[in-house]
Amino acid sequence: MKNVHHAISCCALPALSAIVLMCLLSGCTPPVSKSSSWEKLAPATANETQKPYTIGAGDELEVKFFFAPELNDVMQVRPDGKISLMFAQDIQAAGKTPEELAADIRRRLQPHVRQPELVVVMRSYASQKAFVGGEVLKAGPVQLAGHENLLQVLDEAGWITPAADHDVVLLMRRDEDGKESVYPLNLGKVMNGQDMKQNVIVQAGDVVLVPPSGVTSFDRWIDQYIRQAVPLNSGVIITNQVNNSGL
């Protein structure tokens, strides 16, 4: 068994080094060909923050009539972006402001209601969600109540774990044409105040991924492929030799 240990420790190290290098690169560095500059995600300007809200699928609306309260209704925007009212079926709501939707409903009800004066009130903003995954305490959807930035969204997700990589956080966003782009952000520079421009505004539908650090990725690789695959002492020998090699 001693000879086997020696063979593993001497012969496996070069191959292990190459695999570890690939592991670190794949775990911490986004594919350059699919990445875009984070400068395209600059924080919103004052004018952008004043844009009217547009309704999205999942939002809850209340339609209130001034002179026909019996027609008042509360509804949720369907996944297809539409709503239905008495005398008006399949009205497109997603992508419109509450005022625009109220005007559309008013036109649709004109032949059926004598005084179709109404207002559309937002009751919930369920469509305004981003998704956070990876090395965070609470992975999943994060409700966006306003113009939250990267730090605020990570805080809503319970913040990053000790295993997280501070150097690279990936933000994935789909543009109006449906094309997805990946934007690497340096969270460490944001946290220490070195580059607050990278504390970008997170939009509804964005996906924020916090990858594990290189050390964490390596340790998980060792645990999966070495400690569980070879006798305990052999795994210790390989781990010690790799650590001593400076990887």
Q: Is the pLDDT of residue 134 over 60?
A: yes
For 60-124, the fitting CATH number among 3.30.70.1350, 3.30.310.10, 3.30.1950.10, 3.20.20.60 is 3.30.1950.10
Global model pTM greater than 0.85: no
Give the integer Cα–Cα distance in Å for 247 and 214: 10
Domain boundaries, the chain: 2-23+216-244, 32-50+128-212, 60-124
**pLDDT at position 229:** 54
pLDDT confidence bin for 151, thresholds 50/70/90: very high
Sign of CA dihedral 76, 57, 79, 202: negative
Tell me, which fold does domain 32-50+128-212 have in CATH?
Outer membrane lipoprotein wza fold like (3.10.560)
pLDDT confidence bin for 42, thresholds 50/70/90: low
Dig out the tokens for 3 from the structure. 């000879």
**pLDDT at position 43:** 57
Indicate if 60-124 has the same CATH topology as 32-50+128-212.
Answer: no
